[in-house]
Amino acid sequence: MVALTRSTTDQSRAASAELAAQYPCIRARTLQLCRTLRPEDTVVQSMSEASPTKWHLAHTTWFFEEFVLAREAGYRPLHPSWRYLFNSYYQSVGPMHARPARGLITRPSWAEVLAYRMRIDERMQTLLARDLAAELAARVILGLQHEQQHQELLLTDLKHLFSLNPEEPAYDPALPRPPAGRARELGFVRGREGPVEIGHAGAGFAYDNEEPRHTEWLAPHALAERPVSNAEFRDFIRDGGYRTPTLWLAEGWTCVQQRGWQHPLYWADDLQSEFTLGGRRELDQDAPVCHISYYEADAFARWAGARLPTETEWESMAAERDPGGGNFQESGWLQPRADAGQTGMRQMFGDVWEWTGSAYLNYPGFRAPPGALGEYNGKFMCGQWVLRGGSCVTPGDHIRASYRNFFYPADRWQFMGLRLGRDA
């Protein structure tokens, strides 16, 4: 597990005290995100790829119980049958309830899940009050990072759920709108050429799929200064983008035909409004387009006479920039913001996850750690594509230049957008 997290945490009391302070803050943030919900909202599953809010809260709690508390000799689980209900995909742990049927778990109730969280939190706080061995501390750190991933998933899954209700209820009607801005004419910045190093290195947490750091070769290229805007994507639609098969990968064109796509997810058919976590609102033409699949991002890039950046190109450019200050979950808008109007590379962190043209594969020398936690990333390196940069619902301290997100090419319920690349 130490190999998985590459954490610098040691057995010192200072490190344990830091974890003891972080733990309740991150766990409380998850509950805060549920403050606008009714119990009925937390049970329903809108599609097989999404999970009910109640399941998210139970699963993240199960993670700490299974991978941290249960490491203690003689530990007895609070609810032994819940190991089956709330295991996600850890085959090494044991069998699990089918993912598409998570919405059928009406019991345990919302109140029982909250009580489960409270009791596990009490046990975790007792554990964190003492000096932890490096291996156990690393598992706590992974659990907190895992919780932050589910905070983002909780919001994206709720948005999809509410969008299917004919009344289109808002997750939070009081959500403020992002500040107005104006997308400047799209320019390009030339990237580095020749050998570059990518991947995580040094102190701090990273997932195993971000390692090992290694050398890649970059040909002459340039990246767009900002993500593609709603107005630019609307031009693609009006120019027949969804009706022109030569712009699409074969699988993408089949997907468009079978699913009847005519615009990004959550857009109205008149292309004037979109459904947001604050309800249906007028489309901000200058904000980054989001909720598009890899297929749509690739088709737009072809239409624009460009291509998607590789993840090496993206990371090489982003490594020189500070993720701080981006539009993340803490901004409170939970929606991409319009370009602030600066020049040069911008909005690389936050706002929208940016599709790359890179398949999600292992780095040279990658080895998944042994045991159940080795299933965290490595076994998904097949048929998915890499996204970079985080989104407006990603916790700000969860992201870094080397972070690799990954989804299937037809997925689009996450806050997914694109930045153009081109040969130079």
CATH number assigned to the domain comprising residue 229: 3.90.1580.10
Which region, left, alpha or beta, applies to residue 347 given φ > 0 means left and ψ of -120 to 50 means alpha? Answer: left
Classify residue 176: in a domain, yes or no. no
Q: In terms of domains, do 391 and 293 share one?
A: yes
pLDDT value of position 302: 98
Structure tokens belonging to residue 82: 């819940």
CATH number of the domain where residue 64 is located: 1.20.120
Write down the pLDDT at residue 322. 87
- Report the b/e string of 363-374 with b at 16+ CB within 10 A: beebebbeebbb
Residue 1: predicted pLDDT:
32
Looking at the fold, whether 135 and 257 belong to one and the same domain comes out as no
In a domain, 173, yes or no: no
The verdict on 257 and 293 lying in the same domain is yes
pLDDT tens readout for residues 187-205: 999 999 999 999 998 888 9
Note the pLDDT of residue 3: 39
Over 50: is that where the pLDDT of 135 sits? yes
Domain contains 388: yes
Q: Average of pLDDT values for 392-401?
A: 97
Answer whether residue 270 shows pLDDT above 80: yes
pLDDT (mean) for 275-279: 98
Per-residue pLDDT of 338-356, as tens digits, reads: 987 778 899 999 999 999 9
Q: State pTM to two decimals.
A: 0.95
As given in the structure block, the two tokens for residue 34 are 């549920």
Indicate if 120 and 220 belong to the same structural domain.
no
Q: Is the pLDDT of residue 151 over 60?
A: yes
pLDDT of residue 12: 52
Query: How far apart are alpha carbons 287 and 191 in whole angstroms?
Result: 24
Shared domain for 156 and 86, answered yes or no, is yes
Per the prediction, the chain carries an average pLDDT of 94
* 256 and 366 both lie in a single domain: yes
197 and 148 inside one domain? no
Q: Which residue range is the domain that position 337 belongs to? A: 188-423
The answer to whether residue 224 sits within a structural domain is: yes
Same domain for 148 and 255?
no
Question: CA nearest 220: which of 184, 199, 196?
Answer: 196
Predicted confidence (pLDDT) per residue in 318-342, tens digit: 998 888 889 999 999 999 999 877 7
Residue 56: other Cβ atoms inside 10 A: 27
The band of 184, judged by pLDDT with boundaries at 50, 70 and 90, is confident
Asked if residue 159 is part of any domain, the answer here is: yes
Assess whether 151 and 219 both reside in one domain.
Answer: no
In sign, the C-alpha dihedral spanning 75, 89, 277, 227 is: positive
CA atoms of 409 and 372, how far apart (whole Å): 27
Tell me what the mean pLDDT of segment 225-248 comes to: 98
Domain contains 27: yes
In this prediction, residue 413 carries a pLDDT of 98
Distant-in-sequence, close-in-space partners of 409: CB < 8 Å, separation ≥ 6 = 251, 252, 293, 294, 295, 384, 385
Do 146 and 295 share a domain, yes or no? no
What are the E-state strand segments in 43-166?
none
pLDDT at 332: 96
pLDDT of 126 reads 95
pLDDT on residue 388: 98
Same domain, yes or no, for 378 and 296?
yes
Q: Which of 128, 163, 198 is the last residue of a domain?
A: 163
For residue 369, the model assigns a pLDDT of 87
Asked whether residue 180 is assigned to any structural domain, the reply reads no
Q: Check residue 4 and give its pLDDT.
A: 44
Which three-class secondary structure state does DSSP give residue 350? strand
227 and 370 inside one domain: yes
Average pLDDT over residues 364-390: 93
Q: Which of 119, 141, 120, 151 is nearest to 51 (CA)?
A: 151
In this prediction, residues 77-90 reach a mean pLDDT of 96
Give pLDDT, residue 180.
Answer: 86
Q: What are phi and psi of 329, to 5 degrees?
A: -55, -40
The total domain count for the chain is: 2
On the question of pLDDT at 11 being above 70, the answer is no
Residue 386 has pLDDT above 90, yes or no: yes
147, 163, 179 - which closes a domain: 163
260 within some domain: yes
